[in-house]
Amino acid sequence: PGKMKGRKARWSVRPSDMSNKTFNPIRAIVDNMKVKPNPNKTMIALSIGELGTLDRGAVVIPLIPILTGWLEKMGVEGYLSSREEIASYYHHPEAPLEAKDVILTSGCSQAIELCLAVLANPGQNILVPRPGFALYRTLAESMGIEVKCYNLLPEKSWEIDLKQVESLVDEKTACLIVNNPSNPCGSVFSKSHLQKILAVAARQCVPIIADEIYGDMVFSDSKFEPLATLSSNVPILSCGGLAKRWLVPGWRLGWILIHDRRDIFGNEIRDGLVKLSQRILGPCTIVQGALKNILRRTPQEFYHNTLSLLKSNADLCYGALAAIPGLRPVRPSGAMYLMVGIEMEHFPEFENDVEFTERLVAEQSVHCLPGTCFEYLNFFRVVITVPKVMMLEACSRIQEFCEQHYHCAEGSQEECDK
């Protein structure tokens, strides 16, 4: 009755373009994998759930009295003091920080989301590493931002192909994402390589999002250099969080550190980040209450134990896989991963890395993520956070698998002699 023009004739509720554009390759590949593990072998997951077996007692146990004391007088405040704690923890003479330079987020994922949201409009583009963490593309595409990939070079310990970066920048480039240390590569950039990256950004006038969630998770023979400490003129948003170094990904506390000594971001980007972070309030106050204790009182042995397990697994896994004909692992220097090249010409039974890793589950009950999850074909990623015995067992199963499927490639007789 009455005015009917606007009325809809029947139900039709369709998901938005944003939700249709939201695509997570890890979910798509892992959730669509229909393969069953070999029932005669216990399952070894080197794919996701990476922190399963690392010991986080040192973070968690000493927390309890502080946490409970804090719970009792718990309030909603704490946002400012948390930002002060993070600012003073990451303050560096070359890259000073105050509370106003810190934005608290729900994990490093939200930190990256807010950085993209403030820097890029739909239709602009961002430069991301390949192989790289899939979330960059997932977030950007759901926001209508185009993704251009630059290559990491395995033969140069996964350094960035900087010529290519320079050729990819155009008028619509909103930012360059640099992930160091790297997921999935486990690589750590040298100071001089970082300086070259900064020189490109400075020349091209492109701001950087530095995903440094694995910051300080480097083996003793490498050094982690926070990107912002090496430049006074490139504006940098550094993203981090408690998830990796403190092994508590479920606690969802992350941050953005705003480095802008030349005032290129200026108040506008800063205010933009603040406004965006207030749409959905950030991290849980319980974790904020524990933050000071986590940052100040975590014993050195905790970091040391984590890194020495990772380093010894990295060596062990690299050594074992390097000896397997058909595989070409790249030695990692940090984080919790190792990438392994598959010489596909020697495994003609398998169409690609996805099939290779599926068959590895079916036959050997060892699960690794195919390089396709990181947009890098003919590789797979190994998570090295499992206990040593399991790492060894996994490597010997991978060896058995490769031996069973290895074929000499035509015209490369020498290879087969090894």
Ligand X SMILES: Cc1ncc(COP(=O)(O)O)c(C=O)c1O
Residues of this chain that bind ligand X (CB under 6 A)? 107-109, 133, 179, 183, 211, 213, 241, 243, 249, 254
Q: Enter the tokens of residue 156.
A: 């140069």
The string over 159-173, giving b where at least 16 C-beta atoms fall within 10 Å of a residue's C-beta and e elsewhere, is bbbeeebeebbeeeb
142 near a second copy (CB under 8 A): yes
SS3 208: strand
34 near a second copy (CB under 8 A): no
| Partner from a second copy, ligand X, none binding residue 183, C-beta < 5-8 Å depending on class | ligand X
Measured from the CB atom, the residue of 171 and 221 that comes closer to a second copy is 171
**At closest approach, how far in Å is the CB of 349 from a second copy?**
33
SS3 47: coil
Biggest alpha carbon distance in the chain?
86
Dihedral sign from CA coordinates of 24, 372, 249, 135:
negative
**At closest approach, how far in Å is the CB of 139 from ligand X?**
10
| Partner from ligand X, a second copy, none binding residue 133, C-beta < 5-8 Å depending on class | ligand X
Phi and psi torsions of 95, nearest 5°: -145, 70
- What's CA 22's distance to the chain center, in Å? 18
78 near a second copy (CB under 8 A): yes
| CA nearest to 250, candidates 106, 407, 35, 57 | 106
161 near a second copy (CB under 8 A): no
* Cα three-residue angle 276-112-272, rounded to 5 degrees: 25
76 near a second copy (CB under 8 A): yes
| Partner from ligand X, a second copy, none binding residue 314, C-beta < 5-8 Å depending on class | none
Residue 415 zone, left/alpha/beta (φ > 0; ψ -120 to 50; rest): alpha
Contacting range for a second copy; rule: CB under 8 A; set: 37-45, 261-269, 324-332, 373-381: 261-269
Which residue is it, tokens 């506008």?
268
Distances (CA, A) of 186 to 92, 109, 191, 285: 25, 19, 16, 32
Kindly tell me which residue out of 45, 97, 126, 139 binds a second copy, with binding defined by CB under 8 A: 139
Judged by CB under 8 A, the chain residues 184 through 243 that form the site for a second copy are 203-207, 235
Contacting range for a second copy; rule: CB under 8 A; set: 93-101, 160-168, 187-195, 337-345: 160-168
Q: Enter the tokens of residue 373.
A: 């999850």
Measured from the CB atom, the residue of 143 and 230 that comes closer to a second copy is 143
Amino acid at 76: V
| Partner from ligand X, a second copy, none binding residue 136, C-beta < 5-8 Å depending on class | none
Contacting range for a second copy; rule: CB under 8 A; set: 37-45, 49-57, 176-184, 329-337: 49-57
Measured from the CB atom, the residue of 287 and 394 that comes closer to a second copy is 287
Contacting range for a second copy; rule: CB under 8 A; set: 16-24, 80-88, 211-219, 402-410: 16-24
Report how far residue 302's alpha carbon sits from residue 56's, in angstroms, rounded to the nearest whole number. 8
Judged by CB under 8 A, the chain residues 311 through 330 that form the site for a second copy are none
| Partner from a second copy, ligand X, none binding residue 56, C-beta < 5-8 Å depending on class | a second copy
Helix axes 285-297, 79-90, angle to 10 degrees: 30
Kindly tell me which residue out of 252, 311, 346, 367 binds a second copy, with binding defined by CB under 8 A: 252
Amino acid at 304: H
Measured from the CB atom, the residue of 52 and 96 that comes closer to a second copy is 52
